[in-house]
């Protein structure tokens, strides 16, 4: 996996992010002191789960030759009592078989980002 590099951007909280040759920004909403110039870090976390879920479902459905035309994945994150609560909703387009739908729900819970978020996470930080 490529490293993610973050540097100060414009405004109060904006960060410029680099992943290889890809560049994007993160910021916070105006009501939190930012400029709303890009998704917040938590929104990127939700985006990571949503994108990984969709990719995992597509890969599995293709392997099974199922008619999954789209998987619309919505992730919302709320903080309650010091707990991050992820609400993930999945709309399967093209799948009408109940057994296939149930299996795809099981597969959604096996996407690598989902597994990382529910597993043990270790963050090692060094000051350079």
Residue 28 and residue 89 in one domain: no
Residue 50 and residue 108 in one domain: yes
- Residue corresponding to tokens 């789960």: 49
Residue 52 and residue 105 in one domain: yes
Residue 27 and residue 56 in one domain: no
Q: Does a structural domain hold residue 127? A: no
pLDDT of residue 64: 97
> Any long-range contacts for 13-17 (C-beta under 8 Å, 24+ apart)?
14/38
User: Between β-strands 4-8 and 22-26, what pairing exists: parallel, antiparallel or unpaired?
Assistant: unpaired
pLDDT of residue 20: 97
pLDDT of residue 118: 95
Q: Does a structural domain hold residue 107? A: yes
Angle, helices 41-64 vs 98-108, to 10°: value is 140
pLDDT of residue 30: 96
Residue 109 structural domain: 41-118
Question: How many folded domains does the chain comprise?
Answer: 2
DSSP string, 47-84: HHHHHHHHHHHHHHHHHHT----EEEEEEEEEEETTEE
Q: Does a structural domain hold residue 126? A: no
Which residues of the chain carry a pLDDT beneath 50?
Answer: none
Residue 66 and residue 89 in one domain: yes
For 99, list phi and psi in degrees, rounded to 5: -65, -40
pLDDT of residue 71: 98
pLDDT of residue 112: 97
């Amino acid at each position: 996996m490529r490293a993610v590099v973050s540097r100060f951007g414009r405004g109060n909280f904006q960060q410029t992010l680099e992943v290889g040759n890809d560049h994007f920004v993160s910021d916070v909403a105006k009501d939190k002191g930012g400029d709303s110039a890009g998704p917040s870090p938590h929104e990127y976390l939700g985006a990571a789960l949503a994108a990984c879920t969709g990719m995992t479902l597509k890969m599995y459905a293709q392997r099974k030759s199922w008619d999954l035309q789209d998987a619309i994945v919505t992730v919302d994150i709320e903080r309650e009592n010091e707990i991050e609560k992820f609400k993930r909703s999945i709309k399967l387009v093209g799948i009408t078989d109940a057994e296939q739908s149930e299996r795809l729900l099981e597969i959604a819970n096996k996407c690598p980002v989902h597994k990382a978020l529910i597993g043990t996470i270790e963050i090692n930080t060094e000051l350079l």
